[in-house]
Amino acid sequence: MPMGKEHLFCRHYLLLFSFLIIMCLLQSGFGSYQDEQSPVNDYHHPQYQPHDHKGLVMVMRRFSRAHPPQPSPRIVNVDRYGAKANGRDDSQAFKKAWRAACLASNGAVLVVPRNKIYHLKPLIFSGPCKSTLTFKIYGTIKAWVKQSEYRERRHWLRFDNVHNLRVTGGGIINGNGRKWWLNSCKINKKLVCLIKNAVTFYECSNLIVSNIWFQNSQKMHISFQSCLYVKALNLVVTAPENSPNTDGIHVTGTRNICLIRTGIELGDDCISIVSGSKNVRATGITCGPGHGISIGSLGADNSEAYVSNVEVTNSKLTGTTNGVRIKTWQQGGSGFAKNIIFHNIEMKNVTNPIIIDQNYCDQDDPCPQQASAVKVSNVLYRNIKGTSASKVAINFDCSETVPCQGILLQDVAIASKHEEPTKASCANVILDTRGDVFPYCFNN
């Protein structure tokens, strides 16, 4: 890449992700409606001094007439709608409570009481609702164990077309996934792959998910699908290291999403970002064990895929099978993964710390080589430090027909956890470096 273009390249990234940071800060506003203070308490006017009580009272009266106090949100407790938390199915009680909260005109708080365990069969929490809604999970929601009750449904809990929703409370959502893992097609190839995601948010907007512990999902723990303006923060996501396909946070077809201060330990990708996702920012993520933070896979079955404007920053990966990864299928496809930044990332004992794999093939039979591929371009790796559990710490395995372009390594240092030094493998990539970079691609 010529010198002038690289300056423009970096400048482009700085401008792009300045926008993303501002976006995340602005998003925090829509989730604070439960905690807002009265505007009267913050009102100041230069004409009135503290001793001018008559003038101040007049202003407050005018203000209160223009902005009357808002009614308090309706409190909806699932116990009042028949939930027993006695080991039996509480699905109908939750369904009735959701309907009551969703129909509230002045907002509602749906409460799941603490120190109780509620068992639920597959449920869809449908919107749109009449006003803002807060789902306060203080206790535990646990998945119904009998697989026969799931029939053909792909989801356990699904929030469908809900706007101005906040899910919080400090409680637990437990997918009860151990029976599903034993019958996974990843474990037994003869079985049909049953897709049962634990919690799915579909076509939701102005959404905040915070302070929840997601445990032992049947498959993916949290999926944001076709959502707009999302903030997920202060989450804990856990499953055993050997649990198959238990992605932590899955982002698909979603725009303007921030993932903040979240700890993830499980058996698959900590975060997976796939087609249709744009303006994605993940910061303060701790990942491991797991398969790392992935963009992809993209282009399966020769499909189109588009991902752009992704930033992963201020995060730590420990003992994962991959670090920061971009993966596209070897069997073809089209589209792009572009404008991506990985920076300020610490890695400890990570296999494949930095990897672009355009020859991804997650099947027993060899994938046929195709002339087309999802194009990977404009990717910046900056200030990435740590140790590798594998000999190859940087691996760019790009397509011969659609090579990776605009890849920049800046201030990268990944040493071996063993005595033997790490190395880089770089094929079909247009690459440049800035600052100190180790290991270095000599075969590029």
Q: In terms of Cα–Cα distance, which of 250, 238, 265 is closest to 200?
A: 250
Q: In terms of Cα–Cα distance, which of 193, 191, 236, 238 is closest to 216?
A: 238
Place of tokens 């493998």: 425
SS3 58: helix
Q: In terms of Cα–Cα distance, which of 91, 98, 95, 92 is closest to 76?
A: 98
CA–CA gap between residue 382 and residue 302 (Å, rounded): 32
Q: How many CB atoms lie within 10 A of CB 54?
A: 8
Q: Which two tokens stand for residue 61?
A: 């009266």
In this structure, which long-range contacts are made by residues 365-370, counting pairs with CB atoms below 8 Å and at least 24 apart in sequence? 367/329, 367/330, 367/331, 368/330, 368/331, 369/330, 370/302, 370/330, 370/331, 370/332, 370/333
CA–CA gap between residue 414 and residue 392 (Å, rounded): 10
| DSSP class per residue in 4-16 | HHHHHHHHHHHHH
Residues marked active site are found at 291
Burial of 410 (0-12, 13-18, 19+ CB in 10 A): middle
SS3 17: helix
For residue 121, the 8-state DSSP code is -
What secondary structure, in 3-state letters, does 93-108 show? Answer: HHHHHHHHHHCCCCCE
- Cα angle: 75, vertex 81, 82; to 5 degrees: 140
Identify whether 289 is preceded by a cis peptide bond (ω within 30 of 0).
yes
Close Cβ partners of 58 (under 8 Å, ≥ 6 residues apart)? none
CA–CA gap between residue 88 and residue 90 (Å, rounded): 6
Q: How many CB atoms lie within 10 A of CB 11?
A: 10
